[in-house]
A = this chain, B = another copy of it.
Amino acid sequence: MISKKMRALVDNNSVIRMMFEEGQRMAQEFGAENVYDFSIGNPNVPAPEKVKETAIRLLREEDPLKLHGYMNNAGYPEVRAKVAESINKRFGTGFHAGNILMTVGAASGLNCALKAIIDPGDEVIAFAPYFVEYKNYVANYDGTLVAIAPDTETFQPDLNAFEAAITDKTRAVIINSPNNPTGVIYSEETIEKLSEIMSRKGRELNRDIYLISDEPYRELVYTDAVVPYVTKYYPNAIVCYSFSKTLSLPGERIGYLVVPDEAADSEDLMAAAVIANRVIGCVNAPSLFQKVVAECLDEKADIAFYGRNRDRIFNALAEYGFSCIKPEGAFYLFVKSPVPDEKEFVAEAKKEHILLVPGSSFCCSGYVRLSYCVAYETIENSLPGFKRLSEHYGLS
């Protein structure tokens, strides 16, 4: 007697998560060293030493009632102020504590933002390929996700198709750069054009359209590419950030939401997001880790490690004849399947104990996602399997 919405989700459970759990099962059966699990974005670089030191110091020195107690639903005021200051310093913005809502990771941040603005029937636009959960998050509030088909040459947003898709039901647009699953970064020019279209269409339709920028991979960049800070280009922007990848803390569920003063109905919007944080059941972001991240805002896990992985796997797959755009950021490769039905390719790869996620999970079939945030040896040891797959499909 589960609910109808959940019935559909149970019957069609996240392929990524199922693959992750299958990987754990296979690791038990065949030994972890014989399974090449590229299914999930679970960082393989430890959290910076300062995270540990700070957590231990806080546990030793702080009053436990304050360290583990309730605070305002938006988070500790001093933590919010430090986050605002750090963003201002790095991106030349002008935020204050009141613009920051500490959240249970970016996933909860997105839910707070969407719950704050979506009425049933509202449309939210996303660019395929996109993180599969966006659709579920939008559906939580009875909104509809409208997908813009990918430009598979560049995997940059197709702005003509985007403009045509904006209607009097459009309430928000979600972007994600560096992108999961392609690793591409949206250039300043792209953000400018996207903003111009949104401003113009918003005026035409007399409608506030919010740009939600989901940025868990902001710090994971391997080239000299710059990731534009969207609030500087478009006033109605909401930024969702997570420390999961930058500080290798995905299990701790810690992130924040930025609601600029310039956003439409900014004060109400922030009030709504804070109440949403309470009402969806999060109440507040975990208290110890709020204080930990506030002291680690200049820290980063060892990104060079992922850069080395990227080069190794990208170059090897290219050599074997696989086709793939070279990622500039995040830690994913989006590889063209050698056969039209990529699920067939995923099944074939599994025979080599290589776990991949089908592109249809990202609204982009014909491709597979490979998460290279794994041990370097996992990549090395998987290569003979990829070579055999290449031979199997006659790519090389």
Query: Is A193 at the interface (CB under 8 A from chain B)?
Result: no
Closest Cβ neighbor of A244 among chain B residues: B70
A13 touching B275 by the CB < 8 A rule? Answer: yes
Which residues of B have CB within 8 Å of A283? 104-105, 107, 250, 253
Q: Is B208's CB under 8 angstroms from A1's CB?
A: yes
Tell whether, in the assembled complex, residue B68 and residue A280 are in contact, meaning their CB atoms are under 8 Å apart: no
Contact between chains at B64 and A47 (CB < 8 Å) = yes
Interface size on A, residues (CB 8 A): 84
Q: Whole-angstrom distance from the CB of A249 to the nearest CB of chain B?
A: 5
A239-265 CB contacts (< 8 Å) to partner B: 248-253, 264-265
The answer to whether the Cβ of A300 comes within 8 Å of any Cβ in the partner chain is no
A31 within 8 A of B: no
Which one of B6, B117, B251 contacts A115 once the chains associate, using CB atoms below 8 Å? B6
State whether the Cβ of A118 lies closer than 8 Å to any Cβ in chain B.
Answer: yes
A222 close to chain B: CB less than 8 A: no
Quote the shortest CB–CB distance from A53 to chain B (angstroms).
9
Chain B residues lying within 8 Å of A42, measured Cβ to Cβ, are 69-70
With contact pairs A136-B279, A280-B140 given, residues A268 and B2 touching in the complex (Cβ less than 8 Å): yes
Residues of B within 8 A of A70 (CB): 20, 40, 42, 250-251
A276 at the interface (CB under 8 A from B): yes
| Contact call A141/B3, Cβ cutoff below 8 A | yes
Closest residue of chain B to A279 (Cβ to Cβ) is B136
Binds B, one of A55-63, A93-101, A323-331: A55-63
In the bound complex, CA of A141 to CA of B286 (Å): 25
A263 to B: closest C-beta gap in Å: 10
Q: CA A112 – CA B59 in complex, angstroms? A: 30
From known contacts A133-B278, A248-B64, A253-B284, infer whether A69 and B43 are also in contact, taking CB-CB under 8 Å.
Answer: yes
CA–CA, A304 and B283, complex, Å: 27
Q: A1-27 CB contact bits vs B (8 Å, 1 = yes)? A: 111111101100110010011001000
Complex CA gap A6/B111 in Å reads 13
Give Cα A104–Cα B288 distance, bound, in whole angstroms: 14
CB pair A17 B251 closer than 8 Å: no
The answer to whether the Cβ of A164 comes within 8 Å of any Cβ in the partner chain is no
Chain B nearest CB from A293 CB (Å) reads 12
Note all chain B residues with C-beta closer than 8 A to A20.
Answer: 70, 72
CA distance A265 to B1 in the complex (A): 6
Question: A285 — nearest CB in chain B belongs to which residue?
Answer: B253
Q: Give the 5 A-B CB pairs with smallest separation, nearest first.
A: A251-B287, A111-B281, A108-B281, A107-B281, A6-B272
Hey, which bits of chain A sit against chain B, CB under 8 A?
1-7, 9-10, 13-14, 17, 20-21, 24, 40, 42-44, 46-47, 51-52, 55-56, 59-60, 63-65, 67-73, 104-105, 107-112, 115-119, 133, 136-137, 140-141, 171, 207-208, 248-253, 264-265, 268-269, 271-272, 275-276, 278-289
